[in-house]
Amino acid sequence: MKAVIMAGGKGTRIASVNAEVPKPMIAIHGKPVLQYQIECLAGQGITDIVLVIGYLGNIIEEYFEDGGAFGVQISYIREESPLGTAGALYYLRNNIFEDFLLMNGDSIFSVDMKRFQDAHLRNEGLVTILTHPNNHPYDSGIIIADKDGVVTKWLTKEETRKWYRNRVNAGLHMISPKLLERFEILAKRDLDRDVLKPLIAERNLYIYDSPEYIRDMGTPDRFYEVAEDICAGVIDDRNLSHKQKAVFLDRDGTINKYVGFLADIGDFELSDGVSEAIKLLNRQGYLVLVVTNQPVIARGEITVDELNEIHNKMETLLGNDGAYVDDIFYCPHHPAKGFKGERSEYKVECACRKPQPGMLLEAAEKYNIDLGQSWMIGDSLSDIEAGRNAGCRAVHIGRDQVAGVPTYATLLDCVEYILHK
């Protein structure tokens, strides 16, 4: 597979770090950002690389030359005048005949590209965008997709939005060569506005959602965050080719204030200290996964769409505080019958309703999780038993003690216990 890296940016917002080189050549711990990218690709067997260069491109070309010193083969597209973030793809229309990877040159990442490529090929669409949660969704473009992963809406950071799922365009794309047939003339083009967004109406744009490490370094603050993460060694650990560690969180009474069977979005309110606790887990490299029984679906008290909107509110509130969850798993079943408006298709015994471990096992399969190195936090005995049944360690949140399980009053206390074990 060929990789195309757009490396022509000036880096105006990050000029205070280094304005003497193009943005992809800004060094972190003595190594240019672009070198981190190339090494990540080479480590996964992606060695045929095209660099699109423009502003101070000679610095990039002189550093990498033909790529031989880095175990890759590099060719260059030199923009004589700026062509936007996609115009240079015109030059590839007669040179690429298989699906390829397109990425921005200003991010640090560690992504299992084989998983990404496989998902794209299954979609059979023109483009698959890698999306992920981040700690600043409020100033990021949000991608909305249906249950099949087809993009239905793309919200820019300037657009008004209330509650949304924290799923951000990560700047990595798998692209079919058929897309290049649309580049009939050489012209300045914006990748998002002119190329990708028109595919929404065609249902030809998909997402691949991943919790792996991807950080743009477009601002000084984010640059220094990435530098810290490199020192901490958390970047490669988040690649899904490696076993992951996770903290599974119950929802009601753990993340949000307990109000009984929550059916009204207006009743959802984060508990004190929850955002800070989840931020600690995010920074320490744990996957943060919500596993929640939601019998209100089976009882007919809310719809799946209404439940999703409650979860969107949860993700928005957390994102506003700089925290995020990596995924949400819920059980809609409830075997007891006799409720007005109940939905018979959900009135079944299942393997996902806690204390059964089904949701945790599903997450472990999806994200290559080492359950023995993972934790379950919840406020009920069924939460603790679900964790134990899955092979996790457990921490109880609440006032009452559970035999053999540490108990703390707040989620923040529980997380600090885990991080000091």
- DSSP code, position 271: P
Using CA atoms, how far apart are residues 118 and 383, in angstroms rounded to an integer? 34
Task: Give residue 325's identity as a one-letter amino acid code.
Answer: V
Using CA atoms, how far apart are residues 230 and 36, in angstroms rounded to an integer? 10
Using CA atoms, how far apart are residues 371 and 291, in angstroms rounded to an integer? 14
Using CA atoms, how far apart are residues 25 and 413, in angstroms rounded to an integer? 42
For tokens 């409020």, what's the residue?
Answer: 138
Task: Give residue 258's identity as a one-letter amino acid code.
Answer: Y
- DSSP code, position 90: G
Catalytic residue numbers, as ranges: 250, 252
- Concatenate the DSSP letters of all residues of 69-97 into one string: GGTSEEEEEE-SS--BTTGGGGGGTTT--
User: What tokens appear for 205 in the block?
Assistant: 């744009």
For tokens 């769409």, what's the residue?
Answer: 305
Q: How many CA atoms lie within 13 A of 232 on its CB side?
A: 15
